[in-house]
Structure 1
Amino acid sequence: MRGRLVVGALCGALALVGFTGCGIPERTEVQVDRRKEPATELSAINAGSEPPTRTTTDQPEEFVKNFLNAAAGEPDRAYYRVKQFIDPQYRSRLQEKRGSEVELTVVRLTDSPRVTFGADDRYKVSIGVQQIGVLRTDGTLVPPVSSETHYEFGLRLASPSGATDDGAGLYVIEPPNVLLVSDTALQDYYESRTIYFWSTDRTQLVPDLRFLPDTVPNERRLNEVVKWLVDGPSDWLRTGVVGLPDRTELINNATGGNGRWEVNLDMPGDDRTQIDQLITQLAWSLRDFDGELELKIRNNPVKVENLAARRSLRELYPLREGPRGYCVYEGAIHSLSVAGEPLEVPLDEAVNRNVVSAGLARSGEQILAALVVTASGGKQRLTVGTGRAPVTTFGKAENSYKVIGRPVWLRSSDPSHPRGLVVADGRLYWFDGNAVMTQIALNLPPGVVTAVAVSLDGQRIALIADGALYVAAVKLLDGGVTIGPSRRVITSLTGISAVDWVDENKLIVAGSAARPAIHEVTVDGAPQTVLMADTRAKVTSLSAYPDNPTIQMPWTYMYEASGSAYRSRPAERILPAQVHGVSPPPAGVRPGNPSAPFFLF
């Protein structure tokens, strides 16, 4: 469920109940909850659906699909659910793990399961798969550890007498020795949740994607989210965010109901600012919770706050309006009438020329403008200008390059030190407001980088290198920009050519799926959705206005293919008549093609 920003006056006065230096004892006798098992009885089931049972169908093809969903759900019963599908004499092949060691091997089927009938009323099953990742009990989907591209197992009919069976129907024989689950099960039996961690400079909340089983009871959802925050961020985000202080523990269970919630932590330190930031972190991580939250530190009340009021007080992103569409037409930037009301270009006419592509962003009252322009010898050069619109002064990068990708800006809370990213001749660079470019070291396999995209929070990037997709955390330093360890994002697309962010945790990606296509995929690779099955030509750039909790409007995107610009929803070519401020060409002269579309926000 996507929570939305609740705009309005504060619904509840902030009740501060003593800090030490605030009144919090240095240490008290507390009961720390280190349990990994569910915090309530298993009988407390939420309204969410559970995977089908073994006897739901006796059709082999449908039975196989149900078997690949059986492990989905609460991890403490995953082995039990899967073993119900397996012939009793083969159940020992699954080496059962417990607690936090339970892991699900998430795969994407590359074709329909092949089921062939053989002797003795038995079937042979073969499934081709793409390894997506491993789903852990903390809701994170980490990179895959297996390289298997297909699995084979058998099916048999239950014996007529049922003497050695648990009932009629089919059974799996010679099963895989892992808990397999299809990527579609993440959509069908889990809720995607976003929790937040502070950036390393504590100025921006950074999203972290988790999967929560639908059947987790409502009274436990608060507790699960708080445990995730206590345990820390996903592996690939760790270099770009800060977790709660070391040795922080959850005392008993987070509890509540009827608009009143309580979180009790054993948290070192006694910093009022840090505790106030924790309240904001909790409010956004509990986006679908309303009412009052009471935070206790070592059993001592510290603060009571209305969750919706806190979300209203501290917006996630500094957005003021929806998307404004622009493109490059005949060497200059122009606004478009296909994405928002056309506005004037926020650049002086004298500098708006010889443009190949551009990246514009707002930072407070300033416009951040990065242009790729033509240079001598058929090369390209980066130019950068910042200031109030219209921007008049631009600095030029020292070097020119054969090919420069579309530049993007890293949104930060420090408008006096703007920084952006750009790919030039197969390498990634960061640049400052004076167009000084510095190459960034990447921990990727040797290869050519072809595109980069930045998330709305400015703390995460998506990269394309040698046709593969990666995500990584960003760390902004006084002296520049560093990129953390990159995580490969598995998609069914090959030859990936363009990427951008369309959600806090989702990307749009262009590549090949027999035909040129555009897919939507999460930052961890599952699930995946086909947006355009055939774009008819290779997509060379993508630009999106992302869905977000601050401005309530559907996300949208534009792209370029074969030198022409297109928009989505509905998918159609952008025509010269939709380019603002352009006079029709003389009679008999064919108009040019709008290209390199992008959004300003």
Structure 2
Amino acid sequence: MRRRLVTALLAGALLPAGLAGCGIPDQTEVQVDGSGPAAEAGALNGSPARPPTPTDSAEPGAFIENYLRAAAAGEREQAYSRVKDFVAPEARGRLTEKQSSEIQLTVVRLREKPEVTPPNNQGTSKVTVKVQQVGVLRADGTLAPPGANETEYVFQLRRAEPAGAALLLTDVPNDLLISDKALHEYYRSRTIYFWNSDQSRLVPDLRYLPSSVPTERRVTEVVKWLTGGPSDWLAKGVTRLPDGTRPINNATGSDGHWEVDLAMPAADDKRLARLATQLAWSLPELSGQLDLKIQNQKRLSVDLEQERTAHVAYPARAVPARFSVYDGAVRPLAIGNEPRVGVPLAPDANKNVVSAAVARADDQVLAALVVAGADGRQRLRVGSGPDPVTVFNTNSRTFGTIGRPTWLRSLDKGHPAGLVAADGKLYRFDDAAAMNQVPLAVPGPVVAVAGSLDGHRIALVSGGNLFVAAVSVDGGVISVGQPRPLVSLLTAVTAVDWVAENELVLAGNEADRPAIHQLTVDGAQEIPLKTNIGAEVTQLAAYPGGAVGGLPSLSYMYEANRAAFRNNPFDIIKREQVLDVPAGSRATNPTAPFFLY
């Protein structure tokens, strides 16, 4: 099932609405209708609302904040027109205008309030804005890594003429700048889906669409995105539509009946069926019938809701349960009324455990245990089978430090595989505990890795920085694409996991104090979840499936100072909350918490 994060910083899901026919003749290029005003944050269906204008503030600092919020944000066809409203006539010629398809918006995060220099004798003010570069918002709705390295921008302003309260810019950066706040207020985050390499599972791809885009154009935009291909960093783990696939007409629809007309080479029944599933999941707000046409000839009709039911985006999820390591063994946790299950490991293997990753795969259990020897060196112990797992293999190689493993939730049932960081390197492993190093072009040692619910995206921590990468799994052979660095307000990142479909939870330092933040998979939106923790977070585990079986949405647990903690509410996990502890066990704190699902 598709999972969505609902936070104070992210816009809500689009509501169902009818599409009106666009009346474009057959075999025309897809056209984009005129632009409209940006929508108010949280407005349903892109309801137009007036964004800030140059006359809304007579104070230079607030004027610049409004400029970064409203000038370039929204539909691209009128981006320069909106920017010029904030710019004095004598300075407008310095803007290098581009075609709307070539416009890229530089997204920045304000690190502090703008610094205002008082007006000089000519009445000109100077405003300095310190920023963090977040990324480049492209015409296809993707947020690419930052293309600039400026840490501050300087603006000059004067009073408008005739004399009045309004201000105008006399010196403005040539880049079209928007703040991350504008990205939240005037855009909707949308997820489109591409098939993985063997076309057995859908993989999410996060995009942004101006809130003002009317309902009848959303289908057209999604079709254009799918035919245009995945985000750059995701390309390694997914399959593009056949070369030459493109929309012919704008998508049309009314009264629950939608039509998409494409040019698609070798459009056989299987390809059309897979495309229909992609569209059904990429347009979750739509219901009714979808007709797929190739060169204006109807080839396939599907019921969108039935398509989503018949072809789920991810495999069915088991009810999640919490575990931790207690006195060197994996033990279940008793948290409130949450589900509790027994340890799915044979007792003989459940010894000397430092950390663990245990996952369900249909009727099988996948278990990867980091175990410590008498000399303190660590090994990886791996097994799979029915609950409880009785057969384990232990890798003969020892390491000084092994991070918490992660299983890749691939549909390749015959070749279960995972990833783990060990002594600063990334390794892939299988159920026979064979380990092979994965080459990565990242700076610094790799200390943590986490796999997404779809199994084809990973997040990793290297050199104190956060990265995401696409993963291709073929016959048990794992191939990792070029990692994409993510921008965060946290420094010295130590741990990461997936807390939702397109959301990460990460631990690091905020103003030199350990903290936990939530971050979108492209780095666009970031919110603090826990600050002033008091000690470095050494492990972090989250449940990315939302509220299931009583488990609160956005649940995560972490380890700090050799103790385990949870959110919802924030609290230490007490010794008495650990179940099935044998008599004679050493009294200690639970550590290395994780979820089993």
- Residues 11-32 of structure 1: CA distance to partner in whole angstroms, max 9, x if unpaired? xxxxxxxxxxxxxxxxxx9615
Match of 2:160 among 158, 161, 185: 158
Q: Is the 8 A contact 1:498 1:542 kept in 2?
A: yes
Whether 1:405 and 2:406 are equivalent positions in the alignment is no
- Residues 45-77 of structure 1: CA distance to partner in whole angstroms, max 9, x if unpaired? 940445311112223222111101121111111
- Residues 405-454 of structure 1: CA distance to partner in whole angstroms, max 9, x if unpaired? 00110011122110010111000000011000000011223x21111010
Q: Greater shift after overlay, 277-286 or 254-263? A: 254-263
Q: Secondary structure at the match of 2:500?
A: coil
Q: Secondary structure at the match of 1:502?
A: strand
Match of 1:75 in 2: 76
Match of 2:350 among 349, 352, 355: 352
Deviation at 1:343, TM superposition (A): 1.0
Match of 1:363 in 2: 361
Deviation at 1:42, TM superposition (A): 5.0
Q: Secondary structure at the match of 1:537?
A: coil
Match of 2:307 in 1: 310
Whether 1:571 and 2:570 are equivalent positions in the alignment is yes
Q: Is the 8 A contact 1:366 1:389 kept in 2?
A: yes
Q: Is the 8 A contact 1:106 1:135 kept in 2?
A: yes
Whether 1:51 and 2:86 are equivalent positions in the alignment is no
Mind listing any 5+ residue stretches in structure 2 that lack a counterpart? 5-24, 40-45
Matched AA of 1:60 = P
Match of 1:251 among 248, 251, 263: 248
Q: Is the 8 A contact 1:189 1:213 kept in 2?
A: yes
Distance 1:407 1:176 in 2: 46
Match of 2:532 among 531, 534, 543: 534
Deviation at 1:100, TM superposition (A): 1.2
Mind listing any 5+ residue stretches in structure 1 that lack a counterpart? 5-28, 162-166
- Residues 325-364 of structure 1: CA distance to partner in whole angstroms, max 9, x if unpaired? 0000000001111272221001111111110000000111
Match of 2:11 in 1: none
Whether 1:600 and 2:596 are equivalent positions in the alignment is yes
- Residues 569-593 of structure 1: CA distance to partner in whole angstroms, max 9, x if unpaired? 111100011111126879xx8x310
Match of 1:295 in 2: 292
Q: Secondary structure at the match of 1:210?
A: strand
Deviation at 1:548, TM superposition (A): 5.5
Matches within 5 A, 1:136-147: 136-147=138-149
Matches within 5 A, 1:130-141: 130-141=132-143
Whether 1:31 and 2:33 are equivalent positions in the alignment is no
Whether 1:98 and 2:99 are equivalent positions in the alignment is yes
Q: 1:338 to 1:550 in 2, by over 3 A?
A: closer
Match of 2:428 in 1: 430
Distance 2:158 2:37 in 1: 32
Match of 1:117 in 2: 118
Deviation at 1:466, TM superposition (A): 0.3
Q: 1:160 to 1:584 in 2, by over 3 A?
A: farther
Distance 1:436 1:326 in 2: 25
Match of 2:200 among 184, 199, 203: 203
Distance 1:3 1:306 in 2: 21
Whether 1:440 and 2:438 are equivalent positions in the alignment is yes
Q: Is the 8 A contact 1:405 1:422 kept in 2?
A: yes
Matched AA of 2:52 = P
Match of 1:555 in 2: 554
Q: 1:282 to 1:49 in 2, by over 3 A?
A: same
Q: Secondary structure at the match of 1:173?
A: strand
Distance 1:82 1:67 in 2: 8
Whether 1:520 and 2:518 are equivalent positions in the alignment is yes
Match of 1:149 in 2: 151
Distance 1:583 1:393 in 2: 22
Q: Is the 8 A contact 1:574 1:594 kept in 2?
A: yes
Match of 1:126 in 2: 128
Q: 1:353 to 1:600 in 2, by over 3 A?
A: same
Whether 1:471 and 2:468 are equivalent positions in the alignment is yes
Q: 1:181 to 1:298 in 2, by over 3 A?
A: same
Q: Is the 8 A contact 2:38 2:211 kept in 1?
A: no
Q: Is the 8 A contact 1:475 1:483 kept in 2?
A: yes
- Residues 367-405 of structure 1: CA distance to partner in whole angstroms, max 9, x if unpaired? 000000012421000000100011111001120100000
Whether 1:213 and 2:215 are equivalent positions in the alignment is no
- Residues 154-192 of structure 1: CA distance to partner in whole angstroms, max 9, x if unpaired? 12111335xxxxx85111121111111111111111100
Distance 2:49 2:107 in 1: 19
Distance 1:413 1:518 in 2: 32
Matched AA of 1:130 = Q
Matched AA of 1:221 = R
Whether 1:84 and 2:82 are equivalent positions in the alignment is no
Q: Secondary structure at the match of 1:156?
A: strand
Q: Is the 8 A contact 1:559 1:597 kept in 2?
A: yes
- Residues 182-229 of structure 1: CA distance to partner in whole angstroms, max 9, x if unpaired? 111111111000000000110110000000111111111111111101
Match of 2:492 in 1: 495
Distance 1:43 1:238 in 2: 33
Match of 2:15 in 1: none
Q: Greater shift after overlay, 272-281 or 540-549? A: 540-549
Q: 1:40 to 1:96 in 2, by over 3 A?
A: closer
Counting aligned pairs with the same residue, the percent is 50
Q: Is the 8 A contact 1:236 1:484 kept in 2?
A: yes
Matched AA of 2:29 = D
Deviation at 1:478, TM superposition (A): 2.5
Match of 2:263 in 1: 266
Distance 2:565 2:150 in 1: 39
Matched AA of 1:122 = T
Q: Greater shift after overlay, 121-130 or 361-370? A: 121-130
Q: Number of matched residues?
A: 565
Distance 1:362 1:327 in 2: 17
Q: Is the 8 A contact 1:422 1:452 kept in 2?
A: yes
Q: Is the 8 A contact 2:403 2:447 kept in 1?
A: yes
- Residues 220-248 of structure 1: CA distance to partner in whole angstroms, max 9, x if unpaired? 11111111011110011111101111000
Match of 1:334 in 2: 331
Q: Is the 8 A contact 1:114 1:125 kept in 2?
A: yes
- Residues 127-150 of structure 1: CA distance to partner in whole angstroms, max 9, x if unpaired? 111111110111101011111111
Distance 2:58 2:439 in 1: 55
Q: Secondary structure at the match of 1:341?
A: coil
Q: 1:44 to 1:319 in 2, by over 3 A?
A: same
Matched AA of 2:51 = P
Q: Is the 8 A contact 1:32 1:250 kept in 2?
A: no
Deviation at 1:319, TM superposition (A): 2.7
Q: Is the 8 A contact 2:61 2:114 kept in 1?
A: yes
Matched AA of 1:87 = A
Match of 1:15 in 2: none
Distance 2:442 2:48 in 1: 40
Matched AA of 2:575 = P
Distance 1:505 1:50 in 2: 30
Q: Secondary structure at the match of 2:375?
A: helix
Distance 1:512 1:537 in 2: 10
Distance 1:194 1:550 in 2: 21
Deviation at 1:255, TM superposition (A): 1.1
